[in-house]
Amino acid sequence: MNHTVTQTRPHYSFPLRLLVLVTAPAAISLVAVTDSTIGAFVGFLVGMVLSAISPVYAFPILLVAAALNYIGFVSGVHFGWILIAGCAAGCLIYAFLWRDSVRIDASIILIIVVFIVLEASGSLFGGYGRLDRLAALLSVLVFIGFLGSARPDLALYNYFRSDVNRAFIYLVGSVGIILVLVTLSMLSTHDFRMARAGELSLAIGDTESSPRSLSNILGLVVVTCVSAVFSLPGKISDKIIWGGMGLAAFVGMFYTGSRMPAISTIFGLSVAVIIQLVFLGKHLRVVTILWIIAALVIVIAIGMFMATHGPGVLPFIDSGVSDFRIFRVPTIESNVRLVIWSDYLSGASVPQILFGSGIGAMGNPHSLYIGTLGTFGVVGIAVLGYFIFTLAMQAFKVHSTVAVATLAYILLALSSSSDVDRSYFWVMTSVVILAIRLARSENMIN
């Protein structure tokens, strides 16, 4: 790929191009804050159009869709799934227009085939299949499959005419800023409410759903942006902005009260530091060490400041809210997750362990892994494990600290939440996939 630019472009070209691309998820979020139904309709259309041009351009919309999934229903369908469906529909158009360049990863194809066979067989022979939820799952699988084959390096370079890794981090960071602004806006209008008396923990939408989806994506933004500060080359101004975006998302996580994403964020950043040392070793530059120290000190300082001063330091918090739920230590004795997991494992038959009980059989399993086992059995766990293993090997092969750190964050964060047919895991892995593809392209150029 030739990166030679034949004409001098103005310095404001990159910021303006970034603003244009980020306008789509920002506008969708703004409309959704006012009316989730109209926001879903706009998001479906915009996502479809951008995905038809390139799935990479619709990637920020996918993150917003997963984070704000529960802010409303439209004809019984969650807000986020409608946006994801639009992006998936656009991918099919993209595949038709650019079919010569479409090469979906074998691990994604394997997952799609196995999940269809297991759920369809349950529907036909067992009478328990949920083909509607299978179709929703397939929509996000289709998107991330095409995302990886859409030449993200070329798409971003053709649009930004600049370093593609730089553009990628700005896209992810911008989503974090949008989500923080949405959180503040929804708190000001009381669409987000306090879920627990005296503790800062949000309840989202009319159903007062858990904010875990929002916290999951915010944590992903933190790990992506902060690990990029000390692992990717860039100007000092870029690194300061990336760090600022990550820290803004980190502060936004305090509103949600979700503890595991916060713990996983610290874990992901710790992995990033270790991996950076492994990849570079004795060649680690002093300035990189300083960036690592600065990032860790600032994150710890923010946590200590919040713990010392309490929720009152944040905007739109009532005086009656005195504690951060995010700091409450989890207890084993009262953990409902352990009861759900043990009840399923003790009561499942051999065929259920091998092939699962179908989508929705466990209700909310509160774990990606137990949810996969309950839905698709050992067979499903095997193909999921193969997908994760493939991502990990690719991330290590291209020496992408961002990819390894975000994957570590995802695997821990979803160990105690989500389910295999929910969007979070698959949407979050799109960040890993893009980081790997862009690092691979950069390595080939170098």
Residue 165, both tokens: 């890794």
How many structural domains does the chain have? 3
* 438 contacts: CB under 8 Å, gap ≥ 6: 152, 153, 156, 164, 165, 168
CB 277, CB 284: distance < 8 Å: yes
- Mean pLDDT (whole number) for 343-365: 81
Question: Angle of helix 152-160 relative to helix 55-67, nearest 10 degrees?
Answer: 100
346 and 364 in one domain? yes
Alpha-carbon gap, residue 115 to 14, rounded angstroms: 41
C-alpha 41/C-alpha 55 separation (Å) is 19
The pLDDT score that the predictor gives to residue 208 is: 72
Q: What's the pLDDT score for residue 425? A: 94
DSSP state for residue 129 in the 8-state scheme? -
Q: Which is more confident, 190 or 156?
A: 156
The verdict on residue 124 lying in a domain is yes
117 domain residue, yes or no: yes
Alpha-carbon gap, residue 167 to 440, rounded angstroms: 16
Could you tell me how far CA 332 lies from the centroid of its own chain?
27
Query: Checking phi first, is residue 226 left (phi over 0); if not, alpha (psi -120 to 50) or beta?
Result: alpha
Q: pLDDT digits over 310-325, tens only?
A: 888 888 887 778 888 8
Does 58 have pLDDT greater than 90? Answer: yes
- Asked if the model's pLDDT at residue 256 lies above 80, the reply is yes
Is 11 domain-assigned? Answer: no
pLDDT of residue 2: 42
pLDDT at position 127:
64
Domain-embedded: residue 1: no
pLDDT interval class at 366 (50, 70, 90): confident
Residue 9 pLDDT exceeds 60: no
More confident residue, 297 or 228: 228
First-last CA distance in the chain? 11
Question: How high is the pLDDT of residue 351?
Answer: 83
Task: Flag whether pLDDT at 10 surpasses 50.
Answer: no
Q: Is 223 exposed, middle or buried (0-12, 13-18, 19+ CB in 10 A)?
A: buried
359 in any annotated domain: yes
Range with top average pLDDT, 203-212, 311-320, 434-443: 434-443
Q: What is the pLDDT of residue 283?
A: 63
Q: Are residues 219 and 255 in the same domain?
A: yes
Is 218 a domain residue? yes
Reported as a pLDDT band with limits 50, 70 and 90, residue 330 is: low
Predicted pLDDT at 149: 83
pLDDT, residue 7, reads 43
C-alpha radius of gyration, the chain, whole number: 21
Please answer whether residues 326 and 256 qualify as being in contact, where contact means their C-beta atoms are separated by less than 8 angstroms.
Answer: yes
| pLDDT tens by residue, 404-420 | 999 999 999 998 887 88
Backbone angles phi, psi at 204, to 5 degrees: -105, 135
Q: Are residues 384 and 321 in the same domain?
A: no
- To the nearest whole percent, how much of the chain has pLDDT over 70? 91
Residues 6+ positions from 49 with CB-CB distance below 8 Å: 90
The answer on 319 and 202 residing in a single domain is: yes
pLDDT the model gives residue 6: 40
**238 and 284 in contact (C-beta within 8 Å)?**
no
Q: Output the average pLDDT for the chain.
A: 86
Query: Within this chain, do residues 124 and 59 fall inside the same structural domain, yes or no?
Result: no
How do residues 91-121 score in pLDDT, each as one tens digit? Answer: 999 988 876 666 788 899 999 999 999 888 8
pLDDT(4) > 60: no
Between CA 151 and CA 166 the distance in angstroms is 16
DSSP code of 68? Answer: T
- Dihedral sign of CA atoms 420, 364, 326, 201 in order: positive
Within-domain flag for 59: yes
Q: Is residue 161 part of a domain?
A: no
Distance of alpha carbon 40 from alpha carbon 81, whole angstroms? 9
Cα angle 433, 438, 440 (rounded to 5 degrees) comes to 95
**DSSP structural state of residue 12:** T
pLDDT for residue 36 is more than 80 = yes
Most trustworthy range by pLDDT among 254-258, 269-273, 299-303: 269-273
Residue-level pLDDT at 1? 43
Q: Are 374 and 267 part of one and the same domain?
A: no
Q: Which residues contact 203 (CB under 8 A, 6 or more apart)?
A: 192, 193, 194, 195, 209, 210, 211
DSSP string, 282-339: GG--HHHHHHHHHHHHHHHHHHHHHHHH-GGGSTT--TT--EEGGGSPP-STT-HHHH
pLDDT at 172: 97
Last residue of a domain, which of 74, 102, 130?
102
Q: Are residues 325 and 195 in the same domain?
A: yes
Domain boundary among 300, 330, 360: 330
Q: What is the pLDDT of residue 37?
A: 92
3-state secondary structure of 407: helix
Q: Are residues 349 and 300 in the same domain?
A: no
Q: Are 158 and 286 in contact (CB under 8 A)?
A: no
In this structure, are 317 and 199 located in the same domain? yes
Residue 27: which domain range?
23-102
At 83-93, the pLDDT tens digits run 999 999 999 99
274-284: pLDDT as tens digits: 888 887 665 66
Q: Does residue 247 sit in the same domain as residue 394? A: no
pLDDT at position 367 is 87
Residue type, 305: F
Could you please report the per-residue DSSP string of 268-297?
HHHHHHHHHHHHHGGG--HHHHHHHHHHHH
* Residue where a domain stops, chosen among 330, 365, 398: 330
Under the banding of pLDDT at 50, 70 and 90, the label for residue 198 is: confident
For 115-173, the pLDDT digits (tens) are: 999 888 877 666 666 888 899 999 999 999 999 888 888 889 888 887 899 999 999 99
Whether residue 221 sits in one domain with residue 304: yes
- Is residue 438 domain-shared with residue 402, that is, in the same domain? yes
